[in-house]
Chains A and B, each alone.
Chain A
């Protein structure tokens, strides 16, 4: 028995037949998915090979060097993206509260309600922000406001689900004690649930804000405001400016991620 086998044996039962079989099943399944996915997809090796040198030259045009004179415009666009993300997240964080409460299994005594609540949240989250943005633009006209609504609506789905899952971990006995002491359901929620879950709720909203900053950078591609508007203008037109935009996005998203993670680790 080799040293590796020994070490292996030491930590867990030796590789069983079932485990190997499962590995093989996963591999075969992945390959089958791949084969199916590539059938009829207009993707060819030749196009990949033709595109690569073109990408390389675009890359060179964008970043060596970027057009720094475009920086003020980029900053304005980034500011608008951050504003869209902040407002959209705030709207969703508030609107998700009733959904989260309804979808939590331990608050509502009726069994059907949490199921309906969860399904509703899943349905909300199904619509991609950009599809929502397109519809809001057609109804309200182009601009960042349509972006705010798209981000706000879409985010309810994820934030509401996280809220519900967190509420479900609240100690049931404490809630029952409050109810036994004569507190109304609303009071039970206010004094039994809210104080305990609030830091985590803030943390969820901050996490969603990260994702929304990314989303708000692409809304402009369809006319819903933010830095994406500039991408739409400059792409295929002035590549060094696109380079500046990309540098701006990378720095902004990276900073927001970093700061939000710092805040969240403090909340936890």
Chain B
């Protein structure tokens, strides 16, 4: 393991020396971002608010749509519900494939197809949410109590009836918890989607950073922090109540 780390340090140019040399520069940079260096331009707040709202909207919409798409897909991605082994393998394979594509790479490519703006970001996050929620849900369903399902099967129930009456009631709290979990990730990703032109607060962050607008950058980072922190805390508190 140590060998891997040494090799990694050489490959990335990381060293304690580089870090020690960087610390004063970092402190100087943070100094410039803070309002004590130069008062923050409060007239910039409306634009920050609009962009942050866009970020929040993208993440909420993507979570609801992605999670809704996940529900029917478990019919092919879980062993107890899939029609046969072939469908199951195919469903799981598809799921694993889309889960390996990093969200921002996906957003970047979707920007090329759909143009700049929140649309490609929204689509990327829908796909991502769908992947996460389906995966977690499918894993849960495979460990769920099989008794009710067998009862329905014995009574001549179809696959859909088995899912709706035996499985979904058992996994409902998990389903909501997984959706909230996806929301927490989505808010963070939606905050940086703008770096590849896919809408939200990241767009003005990237612009202002590159134009050395220190006070604006400080403000954007602080505002993003507050919003992400609030959504994240609320959501994980809700999750702790659920399970």
Contact = CB atoms under 8 A, between A and B. Distances in A.
A131 B113 contact: no
Interface in B16-53: 18-19, 22, 25-26, 28-29, 53
Contacts of B189: 128
Interface stretch (B2-10, B74-82, B84-92): B2-10
A34 B59 CA distance: 10
A48 B60 contact: no
A148 B12 contact: yes
B171 interface: no
Nearest to A37: B61
B165 A253 contact: no
B143 interface: no
Interface residues of B, number: 77
Contacts of A38: 57, 61
B96 A43 contact: no
Interface string A9-33: 0111000000000000010001001
B26 A139 contact: yes
Contacts of A145: 12-14, 18
B165 A250 contact: no
A33 B67 CA distance: 13
Interface in A221-268: 221-222, 225, 228, 231, 235-236, 242, 246, 249-250, 253-254, 257
Given A4-B155, A47-B114, A80 B225 contact: no
B11 A7 contact: no
A214 B228 contact: no
B136 interface: no
B113 A11 contact: no
A244 to B, nearest CB: 13
Nearest to A138: B29
B76 to A, nearest CB: 20
A167 interface: no
Q: A-B pairs with the 8 shortest C-beta distances? A: A3-B155, A51-B114, A37-B61, A83-B8, A11-B148, A55-B113, A144-B12, A218-B104
5 contacts: A10-B148, A11-B166, A34-B61, A40-B57, A246-B101
